[in-house]
Chain A
Amino acid sequence: MAKVTMAQALNTALRDALSQDERVLVFGEDVGPLGGVFRITDGLTRDFGEERCFDTPLAESGIVGLAVGMAMGGFRPVVEMQFDAFAYPAFEQIASHVAKLRNRTRGLMSLPMVIRIPYAGGIGGVEHHSDSSEAYYAHTPGLKVVTPATAEDAYWLLRDAVADPDPVVFMEPKKLYWSKQEADLTRRGAAPFGRAAVRRPGRDATLVAYGPSVPVALEAAEVAAGEGVELEVVDLRTIVPFDDETVTASVRRTGRCLVLQEAQGFAGVGAEIAARVQERCFHSLAAPVLRVAGFDIPYPPPKLEHAHLPGVDRVLDAVDRLQFGDTPDLRHLGGRIEGAA
């Protein structure tokens, strides 16, 4: 098998989608001859022509609004927002129209379109180039929100997103664009759309992660294993739809849960996951569900981002707070719980 980067996998996915469905169009800022600032659309205009992959004026609301009209007219647009924070001008179009047209037409019109957003930090970007904006989209009913962590998932999830009858916000962890993986993109090994994947089995605690945090989770699990704690790493792959089943099954096995996200913690996706886990797994939990996240601060400048980003140490510190040494004291419950002393 050949080694591919996530960027190459995304480029291949766009090529294959363009080849297989003539309704698919790729457009946005600098996606044409330049191939995008991250080169994800490299060569698409050359190989498929201006009519299939083209540059637009520099206006994000315009790009998304145009895509809405084109999808209403029968196309399947795949648009690129150049950076996470540059997508904000399009937010009204996304929240009020992209997410709602199916509902506003009682199911008579759908919007099969993909909004690709390079997101999150870790590449030393200047201000407004490193936002983790996934919670805004995940909070909006009617949007599917996807974030791959491997090259193989990047390929298959993007193919799935383009084929989906509903709009998908496809969030690409830009620090993983150049990470390489052995992958055969011609044969599907990836899990179905909407299902999480267990990236590393473990018996002692479940570590839920997604997108840019998955490699951090795997590295932390490796270190923890050396210290005798086996972490099970669950990669969400799709934030919406959320795979309660896989997460819940894992936590019921392990009895402990950590949620890792790069985004600031308050009102984030991790908070939702923590709530869902304790709602569903309360009797299986031996410790509170802990969140490991970025801080509630504007994204720091390049030279300070290391202090903000949740790394292996912050995860391991949280593992230490999972109360492995505690014996539950249930005397105040007066034996009201079955099986309690």
Chain B
Amino acid sequence: MPGKTTRRTAQGLLPSAAPVRFVAEDGTAVARPPGGYTEPPAGLLREAYRRMVAGRRFDTQATALTKQGRLAVYPSSRGQEACQVAGALVLGEHDWLFPTYRDSVALVARGLDPVQVLTLLRGDWHCGYDPRAVRVAPQCTPLATQVLHAAGMAEALRRSGEPGAVLALVGDGGTSEGDFHEALNFAAVFASPVVFFVQNNKYAISVPLARQSAAPSLAYKGVGYGVPSEQVDGNDLVAVLAVLTAAMERARAGGGPTLVEAHTYRMDAHTNADDATRYRDAAEVEQWAGADPLARLEAHLLARGELTADDVERARAEAETAAADLRAAMDTEPVGDPLELFDHVFAEPTPQLREQRALLAAELTAEEG
């Protein structure tokens, strides 16, 4: 039962010549955004704003928690909130999200418990939440491997006739991995309901985009696989939401996969353990600070009267409360049971695992005694 693949002309697959943009950096609306996308309703934009404020505060709080030794490591997505929040907001109840380790803000925006989201980064061995209950796969550490799982989940939905589509998150570095390309190819051949969303934040740890790809833009990687593609200003929440919404709707309607590249910027280092001054200029970071996605949406909504100064205050106060709650919840060291490490290798432990578990139990008892 191969999906209906409509062979499109190469021209029809290409992204817009320039990134789709609805709102300029100063918050003013762009006259005629390319691509014919529908502007998201104001209510949704206000919700997006609240979640971006909360997401930004969550992110800075998580980085602060690394300094206090409460998190083993944190890969920040500060500056990428438009992508993170839009990626969560386009998901319906039947849709699945396949995130990377840098997408904690998207998970929080999707409504997951922030403490659960940080389980792995806190130093535990598991993802911390029930993927099936929240329809979010475990945050993936190996690069681009989750993109294939997303394609597989999309195929599972399609073949079982279930509603819903899948959103796969990946970074600019991830588009160099073979699995990214295999996933695009498989999804195109089977017409799977999946959207591949590349957050091009310009760096793969220290390696800049120019050393990653010579493509005109990463969105051009879709055309060779027959995947319709688009590029969008990743710091314009309105545009990201508009483009992803259209792509997800097409996937749910049986129109197959889409590749979306968002041009954004990683404001912080790769993680708290990285030193970004070794590979990029302060001037470059400063320039991107002027394109901040949160300030842009705020200015836009305030200017249009969709948001009041009170709304802004309330959103910030809510985010502060959530940050305080997170600090309090993270104030205790999680106590893991080493013996549980044997419990989820197989459904039924092998005789050898039972022996080894008993050995460790004896060691632990001896330590206590």
Contact = CB atoms under 8 A, between A and B. Distances in A.
Interface string A116-152: 0000000000000000000000000110100000000
B346 A69 contact: no
B32 interface: no
Given A49-B1, A245-B351, A69 B150 contact: yes
Given A59-B186, A70-B156, A105 B148 contact: no
A232 interface: no
- Majority SS at the chain B contact face: helix
A304 to B, nearest CB: 33
A72 B149 contact: yes
Given A57-B186, A62-B148, A66-B151, A72 B179 contact: no
A103 interface: yes
B345 interface: yes
Interface in A64-87: 64-75
Contacts, number: 138
Contacts of B47: none
B356 to A, nearest CB: 11
A50 B2 contact: yes
- Majority SS at the chain A contact face: mixed
A241 B350 CA distance: 6
Contacts of B160: 73-75
A261 to B, nearest CB: 19
A194 B350 CA distance: 9
B53 interface: no
Interface in B155-181: 155-157, 159-160, 178-179
Contacts of B151: 65-66, 69
B1 A73 contact: no
Nearest to A243: B351
Contacts of B132: 108-109
Q: How large is the interface on B (under 10, 10 to 19, 20 to 34, 35 or more residues)?
A: 35 or more
Interface string B105-138: 0000000000000000000011100111000011
Contacts of B345: 102-103, 141-142
Given A92-B145, A109-B132, A166-B347, A65 B352 contact: no
B126 A104 contact: yes
A319 B343 CA distance: 41
Interface string A89-106: 100110011000111111
B95 to A, nearest CB: 12
B46 to A, nearest CB: 34
Interface in A213-244: 240-242, 244
B155 A144 contact: no
A107 interface: yes
Contact of B137 (A64, A72, A93): A72
A62 B344 contact: no
Given A61-B182, A101-B138, 14 more contacts: A56-B186, A57-B182, A59-B182, A65-B145, A65-B148, A68-B149, A69-B156, A70-B153, A89-B178, A92-B142, A103-B126, A105-B344, A166-B346, A244-B352
